[in-house]
Amino acid sequence: MQRLIISVVMILSLAACSSQKTQTSPMVAHRGHSNVSGGVYLEKDHNRPEPKNAQLATDKEKFIDKMVKKHGFDRQQLRDVLAQANKLDWVINLMDKQAPKSGPVTGPNGAWIRYQNKFITPSNLPKGVDFWNKYNKELQQAYKQYGVPPEIIVGIIGVETGWGRVMGKTRIIDALTTLAFYYPRRAQYFSNELEDYLIMCRDEGVDPFDLSGSFAGAMGYGQFMPSAFRNHAVDFNNDGHIDLWDPVDAIGSVANYFKAHGWQKDKKVAVKADGQAPSLETGFSTKYSVEKLNKAGLKAQSSIDGHKEVSLLSLDMGDRYQYWYGLPNFYVITRYNHSTHYAMAVWHLGLAVKDAR
């Protein structure tokens, strides 16, 4: 779900993004001393007072206790860091608006067409071609090393940030502390992300106040959350640092993420089906035998790589529903963002850029 939240903001921002190239990575511009004893590297102090809220103070102290005992952080410095972070009320409001909603199905209305058109446009595809051409060597190396083809990596980075043009302007420390301590619905998740973020900053010698990203704390070209950074990010350019604001590290990290989640090299993603099956549940998490789908009136238009079970995907085309058989690689894309539309857009955008080259 966190990836879905992040991508909604990227969708809304993409049309207005700047065409200027990204400047020096903030992790390079603000990197100080690595391996700071007992804490994170700080370029300056802001001296903001601790808010006078007993429950908030208790929650922060519990978090600080964990960081001290588990990771060896300096207690007083961490108190100062958390006191200097801003509470962002607009982030809480935006999170509430993105909470899952359900309602009656009213029939096809073109939802997929509108979603796809956010990304696959005549003006956007050349930007993807430029990115692919510039980093073709690294994309091919990622394919060789991790088995993930360039079009999938290009599709992810294109959907998430428009190939680096929209990476977010919210201070990550502010976003994560706001959601960890002022947003009970998902406080535990964001507390864990704040933990990983502070460890990342300590390990990389970067001031935690100098990095910006999405309103939910996602970072860099591929919009990794801090936990994804710690678990899957790689130093793909071999400079001794992992930097998701560096496109080469981002390429390798996205590929590693997909490999870790089960990407099958040179296997199909999904196959379009003939027929209609309005009574069947659809979605990337469904599972049907091919035999059952055949009996329901559906038939794959091409080989499904020998799979006996598939998910049933439905795309709202406005005047009808278009059905697809989702294969394991499609499910892997949804591990980045739990959305059928998102995964299909990533795949189709990558293929469109490939064709445009």
| pLDDT tens per residue across span 306-315 | 999 999 999 9
Q: Measured between alpha carbons, how far is 186 from 188 in angstroms, rounded to an integer?
A: 6
SS3 164: coil
Q: pLDDT for 202-255, tens place per residue?
A: 999 999 999 999 999 999 999 999 999 999 999 999 999 999 999 999 999 999
Q: For 261-318, what is each residue's pLDDT tens digit?
A: 999 999 999 999 999 999 999 999 999 999 999 999 999 999 999 999 999 999 999 9
What is the set of domains in the chain, with CATH numbers? 2-12+33-40+47-97+168-247 (1.10.8.350)
Please work out, in degrees rounded to the nearest 5, the angle formed at the alpha carbon of residue 123 by the alpha carbons of 323 and 153: 60
Catalytic residue chosen out of the listed positions 138, 151, 160, 195: 160
- What is the identity of the amino acid at 303? S
Q: 10 Å Cβ neighbour count for 267?
A: 15
Using one digit for the tens of pLDDT, what is the confidence trace for 325-356?
999 999 999 999 999 999 999 999 999 999 99
The whole-angstrom separation of Cα 144 and Cα 86 is 43
Alpha carbon distance 165, 50 (integer Å): 35
pLDDT in tens, 95-137: 998 865 555 556 789 999 999 999 999 999 999 999 999 999 9
Any catalytic annotation for residue 160? yes
Give the Cβ contact number of residue 143 at 10 Å: 18
How far is Cα 118 from Cα 12, in angstroms, rounded to an integer? 9
What is the tens place of the pLDDT at every residue in 60-105?
999 999 999 999 999 999 999 999 999 999 999 999 988 655 555 5
- With a threshold of 0.85, does the pTM exceed it? yes
Mean per-residue pLDDT for 173-187? 96
